[in-house]
Structure 1
Amino acid sequence: MMSKPLLCPVPPQSRIAAELPGADFHDCYELPDPQPQAPALQNWLQLMARTPAWMEWLMRMRNRAVGLVGLKNLGGLGGIDLNRPLDSYRVGQTVGIFQLHSLSEDEVVWQDDDRHLRVQVSLSKGLREGQPVLRLATVVHIHNRLGRVYMAVVGPAHRCIVPLMLGQVTRPQA
């Protein structure tokens, strides 16, 4: 079994797979599920609550830079209340930088839609060779030239940052 996130296909049974047609960017990473009994939402919230300080710094820099071209300030990834009851989350609510788009026991899909692009992120639970895994998939639809420029910068960084972020779920909490 793998010990770090590995690039994999977007699971065809996932809700986010329906967003792949026409996508300008997509990827998916998987790793062993450290809490196979937990719902996908709990895994997502724990992942976001463990956002490293350097990632929050990058988000602050991103927000400053995109503000110069009229894009919205997304805020930060962290600041998640792990004491909030899971059954209080509703589709349409914004938590962190994303709006909850779809919610089930095995998959949570988050979305942000701005004038330059729409990004959707899914955390889903599944099996590989009979072992439980978590999969984090991202699908991006670019709306215009600004979105293409944005993704030319963010796309390569995303491919480095997402595996590092996802790897946080297997490390002991500090």
Structure 2
Amino acid sequence: MPEISSIPVPQLVAPREELNFYHVNSLKINAQPTAFEVSCALLSKRSVWLNAAFWLRDQISALAGVTRIKGFEKERPTTPPAAGEYLDFFLVEHIEDRELVLTSRDKHLSVMTTISVDAANEGALVRITSSVITHNWFGNLYMLPVGPAHKFISWRMLRNVSRSFCSAK
């Protein structure tokens, strides 16, 4: 009999058929962290190339009137934010132990990233679901390099989760 997951269906920025980008990445770990703890672990190791990518993104996007986001904060918060507060450049839409829903919206695109944790007896399944709707030609152009890069970036960030929780035994 197939295992039935207790993980919530991830929230998306729009119905699946309306999305311009959709990506899910998951990882099994031998711990049972909260979604907020996973979000901190995702960024536990800084990457020079990711910082450079955010700098380049800000330079190019500023030409189209997009606010600079300057990447992720260097210091991770020690307590979970509340819904309506910001975590880095993302608005926290929803937060509970098993799910953290983050959004970023501007005139060019709407992004939603959902971090889900499905706790089980032997650990947990961590899932990052990203969904995007583009609103104009610049949003479409922006996603041409960001879409493929996002898949690599999320995979690298999940390795940080594995390192954080597998070595913390």
TM-score range, shorter chain: 0.7 to 0.9
Question: 1: distance between equivalents of 2:65 and 2:73?
Answer: 23
Q: Equivalent of 1:67, from 39, 55, 62? A: 62
Q: Which moved more, 1:137-146 or 1:156-165?
A: 156-165
The aligned counterpart of 1:3 is: none
Encode CA deviations 1:44-101: one digit per residue, 9 max, x unaligned.
Answer: 122224332221121111111111221111121132334x323xx1111112121111
TM-score, length basis structure 2 = 0.82
Q: Equivalent of 1:51, from 46, 55, 75? A: 46
Higher relative contact order (CA 8 A, sep 6+): 2
Question: 2: distance between equivalents of 1:108 and 1:93?
Answer: 12
Matched to 1:62, the amino acid is R
The aligned counterpart of 1:31 is: 27
Encode CA deviations 1:117-143: one digit per residue, 9 max, x unaligned.
Answer: 001111101268975210011000111
The aligned counterpart of 1:164 is: 156
Question: 2: distance between equivalents of 1:76 and 1:85?
Answer: 20
Encode CA deviations 1:31-54: one digit per residue, 9 max, x unaligned.
Answer: 113531x21111112222433222
Q: Which moved more, 1:16-25 or 1:133-142?
A: 16-25
Question: 1: distance between equivalents of 2:47 and 2:73?
Answer: 8
The aligned counterpart of 1:143 is: 135
- Over 3 Å counting, the alpha-carbon distance change for 1:68 and 1:135 in structure 2 is same
The aligned counterpart of 1:133 is: 125
Identity %, equivalent residues: 22
SS at match of 1:19: coil
The aligned counterpart of 1:91 is: 83
**Does the alignment pair 1:154 with 2:146?**
yes
Q: 4+ residue runs of structure 1 moved beyond 4 angstroms?
A: 127-131
Unaligned runs of 5+ in 2: 1-5
Count of equivalent residues: 159
TM-score, length basis structure 1 = 0.80
Note the aligned Cα RMSD (angstroms): 2.5
Asked whether the equivalents of residues 24 and 130 of structure 2 are also in contact (C-alpha less than 8 Å), the reply is yes
SS at match of 1:35: coil
The aligned counterpart of 2:3 is: none
Question: 2: distance between equivalents of 1:31 and 1:12?
Answer: 13
